[in-house]
Structure formats: C-alpha cells, structure tokens
Amino acid sequence: MKRILIVLICLALLLGCAYDPTESEETRKLELFAFSVGKADALLVRTNDAAVMIDSGENGDGDKLVSYLNALGIEKLDLLILTHHDKDHIGGADALIENIPIDRVVLPSYEKDSKQFRELSDALDAAGTAVSYLSADESLTFGELLVNIWVSPVPYDGKSDNEQSLITKLIYDGRTYLFMGDAEKDELKKLIYSGKNLTCDVLKLPHHGVYDEHLAALLTVTMPQYVIICDSSKNPAEEETLKTLDFFETTVLQTKNGDVHMIAAGNVLKIVDE
C-alpha cells in the first residue's frame, strides 16, 4: 500500500510539471506585416489560428507577395480581403490566387471595367475559389481570431472606388487592429458617426496618407497606439497628415521606409527591426 501511494504521488508531481495553465496564453501570437510595395496596400496578419491577407498591391507585386508568403512558410491563406477594386489594391491578387491556395476571397459588391478586375475575375474562376461579394457586414472567426468586415454605406456612383472600401477590424487576444482601405470623405464621415466601436491598438490609415478633413475625428474615435501608412518614397504621406498624427502622439510606421513587421504576444506589442 505504501509503495502504491509513493507511485501515485510521483505521477501527480510529473503531471503537475507537465501542465502549465499559462502556456497556451504565452504562446498566443499575432504577426502583422505591411509589405513595402510602393503606394499600394498589401498586408498580412498571421496568428496561431489563421493567415489573412488584406489587399494585394499592384500588378507587378503578385509574384513578390507569393515569395514573401513562401519565405514565411505560409502554404495557404484562410482569407483574402480585397477592400476595393483600384489597381493598387487588387493588382497582385491574380498571382496570389494562381499560386497560393485561398479558402475564401471577400470583395465589395460592385464591378469595375478594368484590366486588373478582369484578371482577378478570371483567376477566381480558374481556381474555383470561394468568393463573397459583400453587400452587408459580416463577422468571421478563425479559432480565437475574430474578423469583422464592414461594407461602405456610400452608394456606388461608378467613379469613387475609394468610397466603397471594406473596413476590417480584427480582434485577437484582447487587441484590435483596424484596416481602412482607402476610405475617404463621405465614407469616413459616416463611419466615424456610425456608432461602431472603432477603438484600436493599430490603425492602418486610409488612402496612403493623403490628408482628409476627417482625420482628426478618426484619430479621436480610434485612439491607436500605432498607425501604419502604406506609402512610398515617390508618393509619401502628406505633411498635413503627419502633423495631425504628431499632434495625437501616435507612433507612425511608413512602408516607404521598408516592410513593417509587428508582433503581439502576451502583454507586448512590438515593432520588429528587419
């Protein structure tokens, strides 16, 4: 009996050493990449549960993005969100679709007569990828990653693609990330006063840093710690935009200076120096 008791105590000690109730929390990690592809958007969010891309740069960027994903060991995307149909947001999508398995592609519910949109449509048809043209807000979950996608309340006039931008809010491990596409003017105003919870830790600024009169109001309701601007040396963020961001004392990360890479794990949200 004494020998059995000793064995049971040893087993209990071994199990106690093997089980760490904080381990799953400590290994939770989100990585955010804003790739430097000129004045264009191409962003990747990777968690323990999923890989999500938002926009795909211009025509010549597709192969480069495929190489980036391969280098990161990403064999498939769970979701590709194309915020609107301008060439600097969908240009590389056909190459992504042709070379990387994608479970689902989400776009706004309008069409555009352009070379890039036709190439995107052909690639989607050829790959048989599941596609959603959103006309209403949608929420998706991938494990612990929550993806909220909001459609524009501005009717499409056949001209202003920026005003049709899908807005994406990601929530993971208590932090929030807000991606604004190229929303401007009417869409920004309607979003700011929509009553939606726009607070975030990281804000991907709309429209490559072009100044908008609603920028101060946007920063007031979002209160981000970090702001990402997808700009280039040739087309940098406007001075008025940078002055406004400086007034709000946010940390600004511009892709004109190279790829942006952030990691959130536990209590730490940090910028990675490549």
Beta strand pairing call for 145-150 and 167-172: antiparallel
* Exposed/middle/buried for residue 212 (C-beta within 10 Å: 0-12, 13-18, 19+): buried
Enumerate the domain spans of the chain: 22-271
Strand partners, 172: 175
pTM of whole model > 0.75? yes
Class of domain 22-271: alpha beta
Q: Do 53 and 80 meet the contact criterion of CB atoms below 8 Å apart? A: yes
The reported pLDDT for the residue numbered 274 is: 59
The reported pLDDT for the residue numbered 51 is: 98
The reported pLDDT for the residue numbered 55 is: 98
The reported pLDDT for the residue numbered 184 is: 95
The reported pLDDT for the residue numbered 269 is: 94
The reported pLDDT for the residue numbered 9 is: 40
User: Per-residue DSSP letters for 240-264?
Assistant: HHHHHHHHTTPEEEEGGGS-EEEEE
Degrees to nearest 5, angle at CA 36 with 128 and 111:
40
Query: What percentage of the chain has pLDDT greater than the value 70?
Result: 90
Q: How far apart, in whole angstroms, are the C-alpha atoms of residue 86 and residue 166?
A: 12
The reported pLDDT for the residue numbered 26 is: 54
The reported pLDDT for the residue numbered 108 is: 97
The reported pLDDT for the residue numbered 158 is: 86
The reported pLDDT for the residue numbered 273 is: 79
pLDDT digits (tens, 9 = 90+) for 145-188: 999 999 999 999 888 999 999 999 999 999 999 999 999 999 99
pLDDT digits (tens, 9 = 90+) for 1-14: 445 444 344 444 44
Tokens read off for 272: 């990675």
The reported pLDDT for the residue numbered 270 is: 94
Low-confidence ranges of the chain (pLDDT < 70): 1-26, 274
**DSSP 3-state percent helix, strand, coil across the chain (nearest 5):** 35, 25, 40
